[in-house]
Structure 1
Amino acid sequence: MRNVALIGAGGKMGCRITDHLKDHPAYALRYVECSERGVANLAARGVVPTPMEEAVPGADAVILAVPDKLLGKVSHQVAPLMKSGALMITLDPAAAHAGELPEREDISIFVTHPCHPSVFDYEEDAEARADFFGGVKARMPIVCALLRGPEEHYALGEAMARDFFAPVTRSHRITVEQMAMLEPAMAETAGIALIMALREALEEVVRRGVPRAAAEDFLYGHIKVPLGIAFERVDFPFSDGAKLIAMYGRERIFKPDWKRIFEPEDVKAQVRAIVEGQIKPKE
């Protein structure tokens, strides 16, 4: 059994990991949680928290399930308590790519993140179809990166990630820099912005008098079809009229240089905004 300290065990991600690992025969888990709500979440699972000073020193791996804004601070509190040769695991690339993690050379740092269930995968089970996040009933891939440490620590981190994000279909090994391009840049900076624009478009046509039920049915269907065409999951193309009017939309909605969000300095600015909790005004 590997000794594992889970920091933030009663939080949103912490509870997901707790649910997966608390009865897993491969791990002896100690749970670190300081918030009243988090402690209550653990109590509901029959779990009692352990002070950080007791949980961390004997741990082979320490999982930091804390918000991005706190990750840098917490990691610097945890690192001095870790034994030499231990593995620190974070669940998001922002703090790692922003240079917020400790520089202690005798501990390894592994970064992982779920891809979440694909819109193109079909789950037979109704509960799995309702699992939008993944890791409860729905299958999903994950991405993993070793920021620092020996190769065997990549293998250990990936094995643990497969266990606490289960059920996992496949794992992709990438770099922390590449993971930051995926999130926030691709999935959040671009992806969520575009998705929220679709929600705003829905609300706008409803405001202008279209019945909500009709607008929702129309939009949800017209999300699925273009996804299938654009990502080559179907064997028919966009109509000429659709391609024409899509260009009309691009010219009015997108800035010509929008792909600059993937430039290295821009990705760095994005992760800094996440760990600092604010977007700095443009100079």
Structure 2
Amino acid sequence: MQTLALIGAGGKMGCRITDNLKDGPYEMKYVEVGARGLENLNQRGLSATPEDEAVAAADVVILAVPDVAIGAVSAGIVPKLKPNAALILLDPAAAHMGELPERADITYFIAHPCHPPVFNDETDPEARRDFFGGVKAKQAVVCALMQGPEEHYAVCEDIVKRMYAPVMRSHRMTVEQMAILEPTMAETIGASVAMFLKQAMDEAVKRGVPAEAARDFMLGHINIELAIAFGEAGNPFSDACLVAMEYGRKRWLKEGWESLFEPDSVRDQIDVMLHPEKLKGME
């Protein structure tokens, strides 16, 4: 039986992982120091283990801590890991920026959920409302073996699939490729576009459109527009819509946006995410 130590077990992400791993085939050790986190564990009938004890015994350590804390937390944990142990991170940011301690005899494994897709076959009401994933709705995951023996990939991937279950697909890639997906594709661009759409709807409401009608119209159109754009609908945009799209791109989409995917830009985005105070210098 493998021994797993979950750091930050009572936090928001930690609780999701705890719920999915507590009945699994592992000897679990939960590390938590915050009062709220300890109460969350207590509500689940679980107790915390001191960090030094948990890490020293662990075959695999999972860091369920904020991105900005991974560098500092890993610096305190990595020296305590036993040889051939694995450290699983839930985001590529710190790893991509070289914030993990150097130690050749351990494994670094990075994994991140794709979240349940917009287009799915879920019929259970709870699954349809599981937007984040890891509870009822199926999702895919992306994984990267940053360093360590090849046989550790399957070991860590199996843990990740249980963490984020139910998982329908697992994609292997490099840390660099994962950083392109997040933050650049999914957050720098994707989340910004999502909030832009919400602001566009709010602007319509400000100009007199009934709020409920504006919401229905926007969400319905997002659904069919995504279906057309991603090849799900089987029909193209109308000629008039194509003209409106071109007009819109010239008015609100900045030329050269593709440069956000250049390696230096990806690193710059991650640097700002890990050090938010730098964002002020960009204004």
> Which band: TM-score by shorter chain?
over 0.9
| Equivalent-residue separation in structure 1 for 2:274 and 2:39 (angstroms) | 27
C-alpha displacement of 1:232: 1.0
1:146 matched to 2:145? The reply is yes
CA contact (8 A) 1:3 1:60 kept: yes
| Equivalent-residue separation in structure 2 for 1:9 and 1:86 (angstroms) | 19
Q: What pairs up with 1:24-35 in 2 under 5 angstroms? A: 24=24, 26-35=25-34
| Equivalent-residue separation in structure 1 for 2:96 and 2:125 (angstroms) | 38
| Equivalent-residue separation in structure 2 for 1:16 and 1:271 (angstroms) | 25
Amino acid at match of 1:60: D
SS at the partner of 2:189?
Answer: helix
Q: Counterpart of 2:104?
A: 105
CA contact (8 A) 1:62 1:87 kept: yes
SS at the partner of 1:146?
Answer: strand
Q: Counterpart of 1:13?
A: 13
Q: Counterpart of 2:173?
A: 174
| Equivalent-residue separation in structure 2 for 1:278 and 1:228 (angstroms) | 38
CA contact (8 A) 1:108 1:148 kept: yes
| Equivalent-residue separation in structure 2 for 1:29 and 1:142 (angstroms) | 22
| Equivalent-residue separation in structure 2 for 1:203 and 1:234 (angstroms) | 27
C-alpha displacement of 1:259: 1.1
Q: Counterpart of 1:22?
A: 22
SS at the partner of 1:57?
Answer: helix
Q: Counterpart of 1:187?
A: 186
Q: Counterpart of 1:72?
A: 71
Kindly provide the CA deviation profile for residues 101-122 of structure 1, in whole angstroms up to 9, marking residues without a partner as x: 1111111100000000010112
Amino acid at match of 2:132: F
SS at the partner of 1:170?
Answer: strand
Q: TM-score, normalised by structure 2?
A: 0.98
Amino acid at match of 1:3: T
CA contact (8 A) 1:64 1:71 kept: yes
Higher mean C-alpha displacement, 265-274 vs 172-181: 265-274
Q: Counterpart of 2:58?
A: 59
C-alpha displacement of 1:273: 1.4
Equivalent residue pairs, number:
282
SS at the partner of 2:121?
Answer: coil
Q: Counterpart of 2:243?
A: 244
CA contact (8 A) 1:31 1:49 kept: yes
Q: Counterpart of 2:81?
A: 82
C-alpha displacement of 1:282: 4.5
CA contact (8 A) 1:69 1:277 kept: no
| Equivalent-residue separation in structure 2 for 1:108 and 1:245 (angstroms) | 51
SS at the partner of 2:57?
Answer: coil
CA contact (8 A) 1:93 1:111 kept: yes
Structure 2: 5+ residue runs without aligned partners? none
Q: Counterpart of 1:45?
A: 44
CA contact (8 A) 1:4 1:60 kept: yes
| Equivalent-residue separation in structure 1 for 2:234 and 2:137 (angstroms) | 27
SS at the partner of 1:92?
Answer: coil
Higher mean C-alpha displacement, 237-246 vs 271-280: 271-280
CA contact (8 A) 1:122 1:129 kept: no
SS at the partner of 1:237?
Answer: coil
| Equivalent-residue separation in structure 2 for 1:202 and 1:43 (angstroms) | 43
Identity %: 55
| Equivalent-residue separation in structure 2 for 1:166 and 1:233 (angstroms) | 25
Kindly provide the CA deviation profile for residues 22-59 of structure 1, in whole angstroms up to 9, marking residues without a partner as x: 111x1001000111111111111111111101110010
C-alpha displacement of 1:191: 0.2
| Equivalent-residue separation in structure 1 for 2:227 and 2:52 (angstroms) | 51
1:234 matched to 2:218? The reply is no
Kindly provide the CA deviation profile for residues 112-140 of structure 1, in whole angstroms up to 9, marking residues without a partner as x: 00000010112010100010001100000
1:126 matched to 2:152? The reply is no
Once superposed, what is the RMSD of the aligned Cα atoms? 1.1
